[in-house]
């Protein structure tokens, strides 16, 4: 496969090697080994497919930390203009976009890393669109940017009168509002991490029966969302919460780094 870099770091176009003969064609649409070596070491966990008619515009969508998604997209029927908008907080290309035509003929794929809003417009009578994600769909973490945000100024290659949008996509916010929302979300994560850090200072030795367990103080909400749990050794002593916190902090730090570096 051929990997084509774009003007935005991390966003690439992939051209597969296609073999034609009298029977038709064959090509390798995805190889985990090749992708890891030539693009990025990412494990995709979910595949999605949509069917849309001419003029449909879906976007611009993303998921907030810690549920951000990378996407590997392609078209198996028809023709779409696919768009990725950089929302990474300290990126020199914040608010800029990259677009590519994906068709059943060119068989190109478009890799959109975490930290980007994504959308596409259908330019053919019909299109079947497929994409891989490296994180599961999390509706509580949905975010969006207006398709017609003037600060981005995307040329969708469609007449305005032909555009078909969902009611949700008609009511999206601007990229400036989205940036503020991302920053607020980032600050909330930092606050929860600070609470966990304070909690790690407590004496957490306890019996396996739970009769003397000391709870973690602070308004953490649903701590299971952070993966915090009490683990016990064979003699009934609780593993240090500080150690657990260190692992969880590292995990969340890696998630957040893709949108807003600490």
The catalytic site residues sit at: 61, 131
8 C-beta neighbours (distance < 10 Å), count: 21
Among candidate residues 209, 262, 206, the one with its CA nearest the CA of residue 239: 206
Q: Quick check: helix, strand or coil at residue 222? A: coil
| Pair 64, 114: CB distance under 8 Å | no
d(CA 221, CA 49): 34
In DSSP terms, which residues pair with 83 in a beta bridge? 99, 119
In DSSP terms, which residues pair with 127 in a beta bridge? 52
What is the rounded (10 degree) CA torsion for 144, 150, 156, 160? Answer: 100
The number of C-alpha atoms within 13 Å of 141 and in the hemisphere containing its C-beta is 15
Among candidate residues 169, 49, 50, 56, the one with its CA nearest the CA of residue 122: 56
In DSSP terms, which residues pair with 207 in a beta bridge? none
| Pair 218, 195: CB distance under 8 Å | yes
Query: How open is the CA angle 222-169-98, to the nearest 5 degrees?
Result: 95
In eight-state DSSP terms, residue 215 is P
Q: Quick check: helix, strand or coil at residue 148? A: coil
């Amino acid at each position: 496969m051929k990997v084509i870099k774009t003007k935005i770091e991390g966003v690439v176009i992939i051209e597969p090697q296609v073999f034609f003969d009298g029977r038709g064609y064959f090509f390798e649409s995805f190889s985990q080994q090749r992708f890891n070596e030539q693009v990025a070491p990412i494990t995709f966990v979910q595949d999605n497919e949509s069917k849309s008619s001419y003029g449909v515009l879906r976007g611009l969508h993303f998921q907030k930390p810690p549920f951000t998604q990378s996407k590997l997209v392609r078209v198996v029927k028809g023709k779409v203009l696919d768009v990725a908008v950089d929302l990474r907080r300290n990126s020199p290309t914040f608010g800029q976009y990259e677009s590519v035509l994906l068709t059943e003929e060119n068989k190109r794929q478009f890799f959109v890393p975490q930290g980007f809003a994504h959308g596409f417009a259908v330019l053919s009578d019909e299109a079947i669109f497929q994409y891989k994600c490296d994180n599961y769909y999390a509706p509580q973490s949905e975010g969006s940017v207006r398709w017609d945000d003037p600060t981005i100024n995307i040329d969708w290659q469609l007449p305005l009168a032909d555009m078909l949008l969902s009611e949700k996509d008609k009511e999206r916010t601007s990229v400036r509002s989205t940036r503020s929302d991302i920053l607020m979300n980032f600050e909330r994560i930092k606050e929860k991490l600070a609470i966990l850090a304070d909690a790690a200072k407590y004496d957490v030795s306890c019996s396996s029966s739970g009769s003397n367990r000391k709870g973690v103080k602070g308004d953490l909400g649903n701590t299971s969302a952070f993966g915090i749990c009490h683990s016990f050794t064979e003699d009934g002593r609780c593993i240090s919460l500080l150690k657990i916190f260190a692992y969880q902090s590292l995990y969340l730090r890696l998630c957040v780094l893709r949108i807003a570096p600490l």
